[in-house]
Amino acid sequence: MILTLTLVPSNAEPAGVTSWAYQLQNYDLPRLIKFQADLVVIDFSMDGTVEEAFTEYQISQIREAGKLVVSYISIGEAEDYRSYFDDNWIVNPPSWMDGENPHWEGNYKVHYWEEAWQSIIFDYIDKIIEAGFDGLYLDIVDGYEFYEDTKSDAGDLMMDFVGSISEYAKNQVSSSFLIIPQNGEALLSSKSYRSSIDGIGIEDLYVIPDEGKRQNSEILMREAFLDQLVSDQKLVLTVDYTTDMDLIIFARNSAKAKGYLHYVGVVELDELVDQEQLFEGNEATPDAFIPLYGGSLSFLILIAIILRRKSLIRIT
């Protein structure tokens, strides 16, 4: 696929975006419409297939509620539940498809620099644009790290791919169409790469699922890359997956101090977590992920409640 494109530079941070939310499955459209967030990242489809894709009308309903709606798309792995996936590839893979991700069944590493894979992605992007989304949330951008030992230009090839996506989509829609890669923050050292995107999504910046707080040295190293994007007046969207209130407060305050927009989610990304209800007063609120209980409860009772909820919710 050969593209002749006119560069459309990315804008500064979208005006009025002060909060975001992230959900990839198990949608409740009325709740999604009513949910308090300026920007939402959702999948292109209810179940990953073209047949269950969100309609233009459904996307317009979410947008009319005052939200920017950004579509998730994996550009660094092929997913076997997507409509583009041919089951025959499992036994007879195309040249661009590599082995299965041992951590995510049904996800396969790809040679993201190959034309055949990129053609699949551009076709997918056309469908997202037709549905009326406000932008793209590009996952597995850090997939270049898998190939660094065998390809010295792995990072450059990923930046080229993201740049091509940005140019193509913005020329198709407008310069305000958002391009937000997830992870791979080391690439932000490149000024040209930063100019091709409108922000970045970062997972596990402050909390490592099932382990706890990330080491300060690691946090500071990652923040140094992200701060370059803040200086460019672009979005930094952070998400941590935890149920621990101390860690939630630490992550939220740390992100706020840096000018990042923080979201606490569940690792399955199958529900929306009301961020304000996480910090509300004395009463348990069933719509929130974990309610914050007020100071009228003793410390021991608070611990008992948290432990009880941890037994019911997968700890991430």
- Over residues 220-255, the pLDDT tens digits come to 999 999 999 999 999 999 999 999 999 999 999 999
The three-class DSSP label of residue 249 is helix
Residue 284 has pLDDT above 70, yes or no: no
| Structure tokens, 19 | 């909060």
Query: What is each CA distance from 173 to 91, 145, 154, 187, 209, in whole angstroms?
Result: 38, 31, 29, 25, 37
- Report phi then psi at 123, rounded to 5: -65, -40
Q: What is the DSSP string of 27-39?
A: --HHHHHHS--SE
| Cβ–Cβ under 8 Å, residues 21 and 65 | no
Whole-Å CA distances, 162 to 3, 20, 41, 194, 202: 13, 22, 18, 10, 16
pLDDT digits (tens, 9 = 90+) for 23-71: 999 999 999 999 999 999 999 999 989 999 999 999 999 999 999 999 9
Is 6 within the bounds of a domain? no
Q: Tell me how far apart the alpha carbons of residues 11 and 15 are, in angstroms, rounded to a whole number.
A: 10
The number of folded domains in the chain is: 1
Note the pLDDT of residue 92.
97
Domain span at 176: 20-203
How confident is the model at residue 151, as a pLDDT? 97
Strand pairing class (97-100; 199-203):
unpaired
Residues near 196 by beta carbon (within 8 Å), at least 6 away in sequence:
9, 10, 159, 162, 163, 166, 167, 179
**Which of the 8 DSSP states describes residue 187?**
G
User: Strands across the sheet with 235-241, in order?
Assistant: 199-203, 235-241, 261-265
238 in a structural domain:
no
For residue range 129-179, list pLDDT tens digits in order.
999 999 999 999 999 999 999 999 999 999 999 999 999 999 999 999 999
pLDDT of residue 16: 87
Residue 307 lies in a domain: no
Tens digits of residue pLDDT in 177-197: 999 999 999 999 999 999 999
49 within domain boundaries: yes
pLDDT, one tens digit per residue, over 6-23 is 444 555 567 689 999 999
Element spanning 254, H or E: helix 245-258
CA distance 62 to 81: 25
CATH number (domain holding residue 37): 3.20.20.70
What is the per-residue pLDDT for 277? 87
What pLDDT does residue 278 have? 83
Q: Residue 206 in 3-state DSSP?
A: coil
pLDDT confidence of residue 9: 52
User: Does residue 189 form part of some domain?
Assistant: yes
Q: Which residue bears the tokens 């950004």?
A: 70
Tell how strand 212-213 and strand 207-208 pair up.
antiparallel
CA–CA separation, 233 and 37 (whole Å): 20
The answer to whether residue 216 is domain-embedded is: no
User: Has residue 227 been placed in a domain?
Assistant: no
DSSP summary character for residue 271: S
What's the mean pLDDT when you consider all of the chain? 87
* Core vs surface per residue 167-204: b (16+ CB within 10 A) or e: bbbbeebeeebbbbbbbbbebbeeeebbebbbbbbbbb
Residue 294 scores a pLDDT above 50: no
Q: What percent of the chain has pLDDT over 90?
A: 81
| Res. 309: pLDDT tops 50 | no
- Tell whether pTM > 0.95: no
Query: Would residue 274 count as lying in a domain?
Result: no
| Residue 286 pLDDT > 50 | no
